Amino acid sequence: MSKYKRILLKLSGEALASTEHTIDPVTLNKVVDIIKSVLSQNIEIAIVVGGGNIFRGAALAQAGMNRITGDHMGMLATVINALAIADVCQKNKVDALVMSGFSIGGGVCDSINHVRAKQALNKGRVVIFCAGTGSPCFTTDTGAALRAIEIDADIVFKATKVDGIYTSDPIKNSDAKRYDSLSFDEAIEKNIQIMDVSAFALCREHNLEICVFSMLENTNTLLDILKGEPLGTIVRK
């Protein structure tokens, strides 16, 4: 039995991409297998997906675009990713509901509603949140913290390419050591780039743990952590 009943998984857009595809079908299937494995343990799962595989406002602004317009494009990119994940969920008989941080008409997806999100999670549906916070100048990490608070999630799982937070970049520095746990204050003070300061600060204020882990290398890792294995790095009070 896991100590967690409801989790929020933050996936970056880049996690969905491969060298050939902006949204890689093989990766999507892996993500859905992971979702299924969590649901099979009677643990509720919501997802916040990023959009960095398609657009990021900061990069668009650097190329000359208005930053706010760029951020709108970045948020719309997350909607595309959410629709792709939901599609593969439905194909695999996993009931998925997409909720956007801003309203989108035409039956594309629902708008954020914390009550309906919790009702859907209660029924074993996976809720995929997109459009981050719904406002420019934020990131989907902050969106993840916000949605996790709204749905009363027990923890935020932040999937990254490395298996936790290290004393320095483990790819560049073989002496780098992985932290088992860190406090929010330490994460902010050390300027840990894995999540932005506003996401850490929101989680600190609401006493919401974050687990930083590597998800796609071994698709059992999330389940192993849920079962109590000490993998990844926990950021807590």
Q: CA-based diameter of the chain, in Å? A: 53
Say if CB 51 and CB 74 are below 8 A apart: yes
Rounded Cα distance, 98 and 83, in Å: 7
Site residues for ligand UDP, 47-76, by CB under 6 A, read 50-52, 56-58, 70-71, 74-75
- Coil, strand or helix: which one is 179? coil
C-beta contacts of 93-96 below 8 A and 24+ residues apart: 94/32, 94/35, 94/36, 94/39, 94/126, 95/123, 95/124, 95/125, 95/126, 96/125, 96/126, 96/127, 96/128
Q: How far is the CB of 229 from ligand UDP (least distance, A)?
A: 25
Q: Which helix (H) or strand (E) holds 60?
A: helix 57-62
Rounded Cα distance, 146 and 158, in Å: 14
Cβ distance to ligand UDP smaller for residue 70 or 164: 70
Site residues for ligand UDP, 127-156, by CB under 6 A, read 132-133, 135-136, 138-143
In DSSP terms, which residues pair with 227 in a beta bridge?
none
Q: How far is the CB of 108 from ligand UDP (least distance, A)?
A: 17
Cβ distance to ligand UDP smaller for residue 2 or 198: 198
**Per rule CB under 6 A, is residue 164 in the interface with ligand UDP?**
no
Output the residue with the shortest Cβ distance to ligand UDP. 50
Cβ distance to ligand UDP smaller for residue 24 or 141: 141
Q: How far is the CB of 47 from ligand UDP (least distance, A)?
A: 12
Cβ distance to ligand UDP smaller for residue 80 or 225: 80
**Residues that bind ligand UDP in the complex, under the rule CB under 6 A:** 12-14, 50-52, 56-58, 70-71, 74-75, 77-78, 132-133, 135-136, 138-143
